[in-house]
Chains A and B, each alone.
Chain A
Amino acid sequence: MDFKPCVNINKELDIVGARQLGRTRAKELGFGTVDQARIATAISELARNIYLYAGKGKVCFEVIDQLDKQGLKVVASDEGPGIRDISQVMQDGYSTSGGLGAGLPGVKRLMDHFEIHSEWGKGTEIQAIKWVR
């Protein structure tokens, strides 16, 4: 499959762009309506976090082909301030911006696989995978 793999996040409207591209990919891979909505929402959370906390970064997509299954991998990366305490931001309700603090723990529940790497002062990379059922 041949496609544009990344969306740069610089302004709020780019969140919509990332979400739309992600949804299109998900549709092509054969995800159902509910999973498409889950993926789009997860992308929205990750992209908005980049926009809010890092200013800029990118959201990339990758199709994962394995013998027994296929999936869509979303990689959100930025060179922003990074996260000091990962277990803290993964708690429901923790927010430094007066938000609901449901974004990151929500993405973990929306997707099948969730990985977060962050270095204080260097940036953050979050990878999330959803498998086609």
Chain B
Amino acid sequence: MPTRVNKIIMENSDVIIKNWLEIVSEKRKNDYTSSISEDLFQSTNREFVNVIFDSLDQQSLTKGLEAFSERLVNLGWPLSYLTDGLQTFRRVTIDFVLGQNEKIDTDFFSIILDRVDSWVDPIINKLVNEYSGSWEHTVSLQRVALQELSAPLIPVMRNITIMPLIGTIDTERAKQIMENLLEGVIKHNAEVVLIDITGVPVVDTMVAHHIIQAAEAVRLIGSTCILVGIRPEIAQTIVNLGIDLGKFPTKSSLRKGFETALELTGRTIHRESNKEEVIEDIIGSIEKE
């Protein structure tokens, strides 16, 4: 019996494909794939339906299906194109087979449904798996990329290191900051480390707590942590929250913090303009002679 259904379907694949293409093209008009060119849409549809028929013909999921779904994933076609397409396919095929028989008893009816389901369902599963696998892969890549970005350390000068923080800080990132900070201070042999929070949109108690802990840890390994880039509105909210940042130095700007860092490491800024003045003085004194 099952083979009889298969036979009807295979022998009439032309009609089924035609019906399917019509419905899918009709549906497209108010659809998500509207940015895709008509040619590409039609050729993809034909490829899609051939892949479906191949898997019926060979009674299993084919390499062709795999290649096809991989390509669509890479091109960024929505998963709903495939699932909608397959649901439509299920309906078209069932309608067609039913239309071939004058009288249908319930047994035959359920056999048709079974056959079509056991054909279409594995394809849907396969495609959904393929898609979600690729999403997970993308997400994990992005996570790694973000982690690398999340707490960078820049050794700007011997013994002075800067950690510029940009964006929201969540618990995951707060941990990363602490780890990178301690690791970096030791690796670069930093006497002073500047944490720049100019780019952190909100400093709430959680963020403040982590910064305080990080600074304390840096102090314990014998270095100094300076918090810089505290915007005026952030300074206000920190005060409102009643958080005491008095235990370690804070500076409004990176420039001021850097000057402090130079002092702490026994350096002073010698301005180029001073030199010019000195030279002018010398020239002036020469001219006088």
Contacts and interface: CB of A to CB of B under 8 A. Distances in A.
Contacts of B208: 100, 102
B82 interface: no
A19 interface: yes
Nearest to A12: B170
Secondary structure class of chain B's binding surface, majority of residues: helix
A103 B242 CA distance: 9
B242 A109 contact: yes
A100 B207 CA distance: 10
Interface residues of A, number: 24
A56 interface: no
B111 interface: no
| Interface residues on chain B, size class | 20 to 34
B199 to A, nearest CB: 14
B42 interface: no
B241 A106 contact: yes
B234 to A, nearest CB: 6
A103 B205 CA distance: 6
Nearest to A19: B202
A99 B212 CA distance: 11
A31 to B, nearest CB: 11
B201 interface: yes
Contacts of B232: 34
A120 B237 CA distance: 30
A37 B234 contact: yes
B170 A13 contact: yes
A60 to B, nearest CB: 19
A34 B236 contact: yes
A36 interface: yes
Nearest to A37: B233
Nearest to B243: A102
Interface string A15-41: 110010000000000000110111011
A103 B209 CA distance: 11
The 8 closest A-B pairs by CB, nearest first: A106-B241, A37-B233, A44-B204, A34-B233, A41-B237, A109-B240, A102-B205, A110-B240
Interface of B: 168, 170-171, 201-206, 208-209, 212, 232-234, 236-237, 240-243
22 contacts: A12-B170, A13-B170, A16-B170, A19-B202, A34-B236, A37-B202, A38-B236, A40-B201, A40-B202, A41-B202, A41-B237, A45-B205, A48-B204, A48-B206, A99-B205, A100-B205, A100-B212, A102-B208, A105-B242, A106-B241, A106-B242, A110-B241
Given A34-B237, A100-B243, 20 more contacts: A12-B171, A13-B170, A34-B233, A34-B236, A38-B233, A38-B237, A92-B242, A100-B208, A100-B209, A100-B212, A102-B241, A102-B243, A103-B204, A105-B242, A106-B240, A109-B240, A109-B241, A109-B242, A110-B237, A110-B240
